[in-house]
Structure 1
Amino acid sequence: MSSPELIVEVKDSTLFLIINRPSKMNSITMEVLDAIHQELKRFENEHYVRSVVIRGSGNKAFSTGVDLSTMAEGATFYELHRARAALGGLFQYMWSYPKVIVAAVDGYALAGGFGLMAACDMVLATSRSKFGAPEINVGVWPFVITVPLLRYIAPRALFELMITGERIDANRALELGVINKVVSEEEFDGELFKVLATLNSKSGSITALGKSSFYKAMDMTSEQALSYLQSMLSIVTQTQDSKEGIMAFVEKRAASWNDN
């Protein structure tokens, strides 16, 4: 259900969650965090939704992170602590989510917005987009977003971003591996829907099992990961969709998925 600060739409089998605070550069409040979490949960088991897009309203910002004005309005220690825990909890939930989550970035992705973007499974960005972790410039350190960013950016390069607070452009973000593709503003929506069409054409069950195992393996030793992934391969090949996919390949026809 849409709210003033989070627009919720379903188009062509994709759930769109649009942070709707353009006058505040789509900065994140506790209400926005809760709404994103709730809407993801509401559609988690809906098979007609096969992918998710998170984006910001307008063309100035994906999100510039936590709304600092709310931190200056007399929030209690507990309220601030809960907000930080909610951001980390959302990251973990996104990694366990059974559908692919795509960040569509047009404009600034900074601080917590940079972390939210990195917690998504894929990122498309316009060429005018800017990225960074500028918390040090206001006397804070980007503690919570370190985790999703370290999954994709080499530690030395990430530390430089955090200690300098400098912003980088889309091409540099692509070089660092934190985004997947840079697209011109004119071609952005067309490219986004092309990517979504590809994602939505895959088996929902194999997508869910594959995504889950991908993130779990990242947190294991090589020995643990190999053992775990071997077991997952045995499990996946017993699913109906795996059997259908292999048979379709042999018979040279398109597979018909039933998400089982």
Structure 2
Amino acid sequence: MTLIGRTRARGVETLTLDAPHHRNALSAALVGELADALTDAGEDTGVRAVLLTHTGTTFSAGADLRDPPAPHALVGLLRQLVELPKPVVARITGHVRAGGIGLVAACDITVASHAATFAFTEVRIGVVPAVISLPLLPRTDPRALARYYLTGERLDTAEAARIGLLTAAGDDVDEVLAPVLDGLRRAAPEALAETKRLLTARVLETFDRDAADLTALSARLFASAHAREGMTAFLERRDPRWVV
């Protein structure tokens, strides 16, 4: 079963997360298929930009707890989004949780409808938003991130835009996107690639410096007793034992 839809219109390659029955959770299979689609788009001279979107009411629920990707695979996917020589635009019309926010943060331009919500739910299941911090920490407000990392509270689109997670939001996401995609289509491909390189340099420095340590932290916490309890509680739709 294909987990990533691919269509193209006027130089924009649309990659669609298409596992709505699993809330587009980041399984090992979905991460691998998305990485392959990004590789193809990056090498195709007919692609001017990539639009990353989704089916269903959830953009991505984060890591698939039944079939999670290896931490290094998720790091590789996030870095690929940042390094891709084509701009990547996220189109979001649903909920985004945990690791799914890492995908959003790794994109160059992020646009959402007001129906979208965001939450860093890792601490509530006994893990840490380690790997997704690689694109998030250089691009978002640190004081706000401290609050939402530590509490798992939900953010609406206005707050997500205020802290730097979203570029723009509106009632009609495609209306907001129209001038963005028009601008990318009017830009020279080499100029786009070099401008993106300029904009992502600081993010890639974070990957170079911290990826190994954060990958190890993620692996250690996912194997912990707290994580086992938190994930079991989530799947059983109950509070973990530590809730007071």
Give the TM-score taking structure 2 as reference length: 0.80
Retained in 1: the 8 A contact 2:59–2:96?
Answer: yes
CA distance in 1, matches of 2:175, 2:25: 26
Q: Percent identity?
A: 30
Q: Which runs of 4+ in 1 moved over 3 A?
A: 217-220
Q: What's the counterpart of residue 32 of structure 1? A: 30
Of the three residues 59, 63, 73, the one matched with 2:60 is 63
Equivalences, count: 205
Please identify the structure whose Cα radius of gyration is greater.
1
How far does residue 137 in structure 1 lie from its aligned partner after superposition? 0.5
User: What's the secondary structure of 1:9's corresponding residue?
Assistant: strand
Matches within 5 A, 1:1-260: 4-58=2-56, 60-70=57-67, 83-184=70-171, 187-217=172-202
Q: Structure 1 unaligned segments of length 5 or more: list them.
A: 72-79, 221-260
Q: CA deviation at 1:219?
A: 6.0
From the superposition, tell whether residues 153 and 35 of structure 1 become closer, same or farther in structure 2 (CA, over 3 Å): same
**Residue pair 2:97, 2:121 contacting (<8 A) in 1 also:** yes
Work out the CA distance in 2 between the residues paired with 1:7 and 1:219.
28
1:128 aligned counterpart, secondary structure? coil
RMSD: 1.5
- Displacement of 1:218 in angstroms is 5.3
Structure 1 residues 158 and 91, CA, compared in 2 at 3 Å: closer, same or farther?
same
Residue 108 of structure 2 aligns with an amino acid whose one-letter code is D
Using the size of structure 1 for normalisation, the TM-score is 0.75
CA distance in 1, matches of 2:151, 2:202: 31
Q: Are the counterparts in 1 of residues 28 and 67 from structure 2 also a CA contact under 8 Å?
A: no
1:236 maps to which residue? none
Query: What is the Cα deviation at residue 193 of structure 1?
Result: 3.3
Unmatched 5+ stretches in structure 2: 206-244
Distance 2:203 2:129 in 1: 21
Measured after TM superposition, the shift of residue 189 of structure 1 is 2.1
Q: Secondary structure at the match of 2:38?
A: helix
- 2:88–2:108: 8 Å Cα contact kept in structure 1? yes
Higher relative contact order (CA 8 A, sep 6+): 2
In structure 2, distance between residues paired with 1:115 and 1:218: 13
CA distance in 1, matches of 2:127, 2:97: 14
